[in-house]
Amino acid sequence: MSTIRVIRSAERDIWRDSALISRQSFPATGNFDLAANAFGLLLVHNDDVVAPGEGFDMHQHDNVEIVTWIVDGRLRHRDSGSGDATELGAGSAQHISAGSGVRHSEVNAAGYTSRSHVRVVQSWLPADTRDTAPFHSSHDFNAALAGGGLVPVAGPDSPLPLGTGGAALYAARLTSEVTVPAGAFIHLYVIRGHVAVAGEHLGEGDTLRATDAGPLTVVGEGEILVWVMERGN
């Protein structure tokens, strides 16, 4: 049976300090059993705003697929593989397949005196195969998004293949309407703007979670991220 649930922006878990505001669709900070709160294959879905010059110093991940969508500002990434720094701007995404283990840092590329924050939406999914060789890749989607349609970001037939089968991430900068493919689990997140879908009206920070749903028509103006998943954990 198909179900629809809306999680309003104010209902999210919030974790903050002097450098970061993390608005979490699932409890993530201090949670050591992410699978218990998962929706479909989605373990973590954080909308983070990072202060100028701040961020996450070198830290470890393993056996998880991480996709980071840049909303505003510029993110500087450095990992333990090449050691080279990569900068990503708004409308870009990065995929990290942590595999057997990777250390990396993610910081706001703007300096401390710039007053420029970076905003990112980061998702985690479980890897299908454990302890593979880690790697990362990134892609700029601005040209594709300019058309107003639903753009494949990560997963099958996209620029960022995942090590998690049965999951696909889409993005859109809506000017009228798009159709989200059917899925066992659909997680639709409004980054900015206002949209209507499945009889619900959603604003910035709101999430619609659908199970066993057919194609969903989304109408409105704004930016959305949608995970379509064919299975759960």
Convert the pLDDT of each residue in 168-215 to its tens digit.
Answer: 999 999 998 999 999 999 999 999 999 999 999 999 999 999 999 999
3-state helix, strand, coil in the chain (%, to 5): 5, 60, 40
Average pLDDT, the chain: 90
Number of neighbours of residue 30 by Cβ within 10 angstroms: 6
Domain ranges of the chain: 12-141, 143-229
Convert the pLDDT of each residue in 93-122 to its tens digit.
Answer: 999 998 888 765 677 767 776 778 889 999
Region 211-232: mean pLDDT is: 97
Residues 6+ apart with CB under 8 A from 195: 174, 201, 202, 218, 219, 220, 221, 222, 224
- Cα-based distances in Å from 14 to 25, 28, 40: 9, 10, 22
Convert the pLDDT of each residue in 33-45 to its tens digit.
Answer: 888 889 999 999 9
The verdict on whether residue 106 carries a ligand-binding annotation is yes
The reported pLDDT for the residue numbered 126 is: 96
Cα separation of 214 and 212, whole Å?
7
The reported pLDDT for the residue numbered 104 is: 59
The verdict on whether residue 77 carries a ligand-binding annotation is no
Does the fold of domain 143-229 match that of domain 12-141? Answer: yes
Residues 6+ apart with CB under 8 A from 185: 39, 40, 41, 42, 209, 210, 211, 227, 228, 229, 230, 231, 232
The verdict on whether residue 95 carries a ligand-binding annotation is no
- Reduced to 3 states (helix: H, G, I; strand: E, B; else coil), residue 143 is helix
Q: In terms of pLDDT, which residue wins out, 18 or 205?
A: 205
- To the question of domain 12-141 being in CATH 3.30.565.10, the answer is no
The reported pLDDT for the residue numbered 81 is: 59
> Span 143-229: which CATH code?
2.60.120.10
The verdict on whether residue 194 carries a ligand-binding annotation is no
